[in-house]
Structure 1
Amino acid sequence: MNPLTTDLSGAAINPLQQLTEMGGQVMWVLLGLAVLGLVAFFYLVITGALFAPRLTSRLRKTLNQWQQQPSQYCVESLDDVSGWLARCNPLPQIIRVAMTTMLECRDGTNVREELARQSQQALKPFEAPLKVIEVIAALAPLLGLLGTVMGMMSAFSAMSVAEGQANASQLSGGIYEALTTTAAGLVVAIPFAAIAAWAEFRLRLLNLMINDTLVRVITTPIGVRETRVRSTEKPAPAVTEEPRAAQRDATYATG
């Protein structure tokens, strides 16, 4: 029978108890961090799928209309959304604020401050789970190192009790615990470090997308379409005095 799956009495032990037997008390902390990291990861994925800013085809069409002819109609078209998932998208609200403030000709500094606050609020739900994952990725190797130190201390304690005559079986327990916690710490840290890098990259892309969208809104001059239309209209032909004089002479002749 495998000694790793049985205790001293020969009874079978479950995998969780086996891990704690292999790594000591530090293994419980690592397991707790792994569970917390998984919860934060799934929360991040679900929140991103529902509440992440998304530049849909409908929003692109509205932005193109705004750049061609800024008007209240573009603002009203943002209110015409259907579906629960579309209403969870915070980007239309940010675009609506930008268009409304531009049509009202408010101060540019106040507009930019308000848009920056709105953008920060849209990305705020993703900051907490990302920070949790980053902390777990940083703490797991340190906890593995702590377990290594505690395992080596246990091994040297066994040597001191044996007064320098300890055999390999007495030393193997502490060394095995030290190596197990080190490996467990790396196993927990590596995937969460990758997840944190991926999530940070995605947040950077979302931030760039929001900034690019708002720049397209606030840099469009109000009334640019009306000015362009007026400049392309042909002026009405001027009426000279000669035709008018000829018309008067013809009237007198027939009269």
Structure 2
Amino acid sequence: MTLATLSEVLQPAKSGGYAIAGLVTLGWEDMRAFVAAAEAEDTPVILQAGPGCRAHTPLLVLAAMMRHLAQIARVPVVVHLDHGHSYDECAQAIDLGFTSVMYDGSRLPLQENIDRTAAVAALAHAAGVSCEGEIGFVGYDAGAASTGTDPAEAALFSAQTAVDAIAVSVGNVHLQTTSKTSIDTARLTAIADLCPNIPLVIHGGSGVSPNQRRQLAAAGLVSKFNIGTELRQTFGRALRDALTEKPEAFDRIAILSKTEGPIMTATKAIMHNLRADRS
């Protein structure tokens, strides 16, 4: 298999009662580990280039790395721009070969968010690319507070933007280092009822317990969980272990290669948990 759009992997997940992992990538080692885990679990994977990654590595380089891995993978791989904050940024990603873009207008007034997201969605669809939008702001641990998604506004957003997936704010928070989030399932269910054909996305998935992630996926309420912090913690532990084991090590490739096995193992567990349809 090879490159896939977000819609191509999320629509089957929604109807099948499982979810796909949207994995925040920071470098070559974690990208390779994510794809290897997806192949081992025989499941699609979404490689995501977020703002932090883009600030460190040019988008052109990220596109080439992700597309290469997608083209040689045995499972569908989505190459996704996460939290694009402008039309131009999303347009650049599409031109570079990303198969999915997220426009994040969640801090904007409702109608402005709708109008800007709709413009990006139209551009993406004209290029055969998927588009994710966000309605209701998802906050940050020890940072900006969330603004919960209003179900009626989500329905309006869905109808007027034609996005392929909607990120919602239902208690989830970015950058949580423990699974302490309690998802507001009543709000989430109300959104799903009013947006029956649109896959819903949970950002800040690291803060949601594996058990609740599995339950929400199996119920068809969430089709994509974004996972970043949880796997960055795995990377950090693996790197410290490698340097502790061999403190005289200095070769970058040799050191970083030690992180791939632990990341792959942790990613496989996440993916297996989200595939309730196979248990």
Task: Give the TM-score normalised by the residue count of structure 1.
Answer: 0.23
* Larger helix proportion of the pair: 1
* Larger strand proportion of the pair: 2
Task: Give the TM-score normalised by the residue count of structure 2.
Answer: 0.22
Identify which of structures 1 and 2 has the higher relative contact order when contacts are C-alpha pairs closer than 8 Å and 6+ apart: 1
- Work out which of the two has the higher radius of gyration on C-alpha atoms and give 1 or 2: 1
